[in-house]
Amino acid sequence: MSDQVFTPTRRSLLKGALVLSFALPLATGRLRAAALAEAAAVGAGDNAAFHPYGLIRIDRSGITLVIPNVEMGQGIYTAEAMLMAEELEVDLDQIQLEAAPANPKLYATALLHSQGTGGSTSIRSWWEPLRKAGAGARTMLISAAANQWQVDPASCKAERGAVLHPASSRTIAYTAIAADAANLPVPADVPLKDPSTFRIVGKPMKRLDTPAKVNGTAKFGLDIRVPGMKVANVIACPVFGGTLKAVDSTAALAVPGAIKVLTIDNAVAVVGDNTWAAQKAARLLNITWDEGANVAHSSSDIHAQLAQSLEQGSPIVALDEGGARDAIEKDNKRIDAIYDLPFLAHATMEPINTIVHVRADGCDIWCGTQVPATATAIAAKITGLPPESVNVHNQLLGGGFGRRLEADSIAQAVALAKQVDFPLQVVWTREEDIRHDYYRPAYHDRISASLGPDGVPTALWHRVTGGSVLAHYAPGALPKNGLDRDAVEGSTETPYKIEKHLVEYVRQDPPEHFPISWWRGVGPNHNVFVIESFIDELAHAAKDDPVDYRRKMLADNPRALAMLNLAAEKSGWGQPLPARSGRGISLHQAFGSFCALVLEVEVSPQGDIRMNKAIAAIDCGYTVNPDTVVAQIEGGTIFGLSAALYSGIEFDRGRTVQSNFHDYRILRIDEAPKLEVYRAENTEKPGGIGEVGTVSAAPALGNAIFAATGVRLRRLPYDRMQLMSQGADKHVVGNLAPIGGAGLALLAQTALSRSEAGSERREGEGL
């Protein structure tokens, strides 16, 4: 056996770093102000850089904008550059972009209280700070030019990267006056442009990262090459929580190009001259694992435990308005339903990869991460180096979806790289990536309602059962009552007026060491599916049209009502369709935005689903780049439809069953609906957009399937076998009685049947 190096568990490694990051003050606090003052004083040696706010750097070589959030395909580099460029009075063809370094004091995203990119918080957090940075820098440059010309700054103006004095026809480029501007005090607050005068913001702009991605010059983590670098292929224990007992590397090291075998507590890595040598050698390792206690756990018992906890667990009240429990318990005509959602993998296009070079005097890391400051803290802890000696070179991300909010792979790579004296690129195969992901938790929810004489709900009671992501990610951020707000978001804040509304949370984590984390759409992705599917059920129980039914509850929510009406109008809602065809709608407000989605589908007698058309209506407030909004709704909807139709992670004896895109399907291009996106035009405060389309997808699809077939599916991913016309009746789940002993046994059996049928459904599954 190779020398084994013990590394701390992922939880112990991340606990301190993440609690620290979540404890940071908001980006607008005194700590940020001090950091801004410090950044303003930063120079570039003889080149005398003008670097106000840590966000703009101008010297004789050009204008560089430092982007605080990471680019993972969502277009944030362009959108945030547009905000600064607008107020700075430069055009996009005049600037270069640079990723912000790890510095949570300076680059913390206000809504996350840490330096991170996720939760559709980027534009919402940076809408004003970036504009103020541009306006402040512009003011300083104008003042520097006015001082040189001995004129009143009010007689000058800025235009296309230069200061102009119209009265004397003098012009000076920003790059020529930057050194003088660097000596001026940085204004704490400056007036911002009126949106009516915007030249850039609000206009459709081509993305700045597209040309390099098209011609192949864009650098993702997987593209980076460092002199002297070797490649490591990792095999981690297939059972969560298992550890390494022994490894025979004789055959592996006989492979040409194989150099060394490295070990940590739960994984083995083969180091090679190149990727292929490392992968070939890794397949020849003879590994003995201590699989640990989790070999006793599979999907059947995990889902059965969720069902049991729904009834027997101790609920935490997230929202209690008007006494909904009493009203519903006294109603003998109450309507109840159970909804199931599976574990989900992120399955990003770019699999996990990290380059690390550990030296006595420092550590360099090249990767794509959503949390560069967390990566720095973890590397410092593992290496024993001071944080200022760790340098994270963040790259473009080939997808994130929340996966790269976790730094487990970076911790693993640093622990391996400590054992060698050369830069080490640690690459996960696609199989390793999916089988060692940090999964979106499974959920098992009960929702109940009482209807008034007009069929509209007078009381709604939603009990959420599932694991707490926040408790795993940053336990110090969990409130004293244990309520994970992410677990109930999208249920506590619906678009609708409901007089009596109760939302409860029962925390039921998966077995220890089963990794869970945030997934695109976060809490609303789960809760909007439940709420919007159930609202549709209530509409049909009331014998009402689903759109008209929702309208009755939206009198006090004009923005949500407008999006509902827009989507209905553009989709031709109410127009007749052929047999076994139908339209379904979903509506939600989350991330500061309002979105409605209509899907039109047809379902064959064999259960095949064809999605013909998708119509989305989005109000995300003031839009920075309309093209990005459309692209994110399109991509997010496809991502959500993929999960609704195909995606689900299952476990067998502590192992992940799925391994690649053959059994963790993504929607194919010939399966995608024709998608149209319509935007509201207003000047409301910007909302988020990256998560919104994903949240809309599953309930709209489920409601469309019901409209086409009369079959109500309450479990994801949707099972097309239940849509076969000859067997549809026996698969329809009617309204459930209040859950008691018999109901609990039925739910446990349902969970067991789901697990047993899973592998059979995956084989040859298709639309």
Query: pLDDT digits over 181-235, tens only?
Result: 999 999 988 999 999 999 999 999 999 999 999 999 999 999 999 999 999 999 9
Q: What is the pLDDT of residues 684-733, one digit of tens each?
A: 999 999 999 999 999 999 999 999 999 999 999 999 999 997 544 433 43
Q: Mean pLDDT check: name the lowest of 283-297, 435-449, 586-600, 753-767.
A: 753-767
Regarding whether 235 and 197 lie in a shared domain, the answer is no
Return d(Cα 428, Cα 343) in angstroms, integer: 21
Is 754 part of a structural domain of the chain?
no
- Mean pLDDT of the 738-763 span: 33
Q: What is the pLDDT of residues 81-97, one digit of tens each?
A: 999 999 999 999 999 99
Same-domain status, 231 and 339: no
pLDDT above 50: residue 553: yes
Taking residues 457-479, report their average pLDDT: 96
Is the model's pLDDT at 761 over the cut of 90?
no
Q: How confident is residue 739, by pLDDT bands cut at 50, 70 and 90? A: very low
Distance (Å, rounded) from C-alpha 522 to C-alpha 236? Answer: 27
On whether both 450 and 413 belong to a single domain, the answer is: no
Boundary of a domain, candidates 427, 452, 487? 427
pLDDT digits (tens, 9 = 90+) for 568-592: 999 999 999 999 999 999 999 999 9
Mean pLDDT, to the nearest integer, of 624-645?
97
Cβ neighbors of 226 (< 8 A, separation 6 or more) are 355, 357, 366, 423, 425
pLDDT at 759 over 50: no
Higher-pLDDT residue of 282, 49 = 282
- Pick left, alpha or beta for residue 642 (phi over 0 → left; psi -120 to 50 → alpha; otherwise beta): alpha
Residues 229 and 280 in one domain: yes
* pLDDT confidence of residue 313: 94
Q: Taking residues 539-562, what's their average pLDDT?
A: 98
The tally of domains found in the chain comes to: 3
Same-domain pairing of 596 and 721: yes
Residue-range definition of the domain harbouring residue 372: 221-293+352-427
The pLDDT tens digits of the residues spanning 393-432 come to 999 999 999 999 999 999 999 999 999 999 999 999 999 9
564 with 680, same domain? Answer: yes
And the tokens for 518? 């945030």
Would 761 be classed as within a structural domain?
Answer: no
**Do residue 521 and residue 401 come from a single domain?**
no
Question: What percent of the chain is modeled with pLDDT above 70?
Answer: 88
* 38 vs 516: which has the higher pLDDT: 516
- Is 474 within a domain? yes
Q: Is residue 668 part of a domain?
A: yes
Count other Cβ atoms within 10 Å, centred on residue 452. 11
Q: What integer is the mean pLDDT of 433-445?
A: 98
Mean per-residue pLDDT over the chain, rounded: 90
Is the domain of 61 the same as that of 89?
yes
How many Å apart are CA 209 and CA 71, to the nearest integer?
A: 9
336 vs 556, 736, 745, CA distance in Å?
26, 5, 17
- pLDDT confidence of residue 188: 85
Q: What is the pLDDT of residue 178?
A: 97
Considering the domain architecture, whether residues 303 and 276 belong to the same structural domain is answered as no
User: pLDDT tens-digit profile of 84-130?
Assistant: 999 999 999 999 999 999 999 999 999 999 999 999 999 999 999 99
Distance CA 299, CA 658 (A): 12
Please answer whether residues 354 and 425 qualify as being in contact, where contact means their C-beta atoms are separated by less than 8 angstroms.
yes
Better pLDDT: 18 or 314:
314
Task: Answer with the residue of higher pLDDT: 307 or 749.
Answer: 307
Q: What value, to the nearest 5°, has the Cα angle with vertex 70 and ends 186 and 87?
A: 35
pLDDT of residue 725: 79
Question: Which pLDDT score, from 0 to 100, does residue 726 have?
Answer: 53
> What local confidence, expressed as pLDDT, does residue 501 receive?
98
Last residue of a domain, one of 208, 243, 261: 208
Give the global pTM. Answer: 0.89
Residue 412, amino acid: Q
Residue ranges of alpha helices (H) inside 496-625 are 522-541, 546-552, 558-571
Same-domain pairing of 597 and 454: yes
Is the same domain home to 465 and 524? yes
pLDDT-based confidence at residue 49 (cuts at 50, 70, 90):
confident
Please check whether residues 471 and 587 belong to one and the same domain.
Answer: yes
* Cβ neighbour number for residue 384 with a 10 Å cutoff: 9
Q: Distance of CA 603 to CAs 607, 638, 646, Å?
A: 6, 19, 16
Q: Which CATH number belongs to the domain containing residue 731 in this structure?
A: 3.30.365.10
Residue 321, number of CB atoms within 10 A of its CB: 14
110 located within any domain: yes
β-pairing, 162-165 with 157-159?
Answer: antiparallel
- Could you give the dihedral angle defined by the CA atoms of residues 551, 552, 557 and 563, in that order, rounded to the nearest 10 degrees? 0
Q: End-to-end distance of the chain based on CA atoms, in angstroms?
A: 48
Which of 186, 208, 230 is the C-terminal boundary of a domain? Answer: 208
Average pLDDT over residues 53-82: 96
Q: What average pLDDT does this structure show over 264-286? A: 97
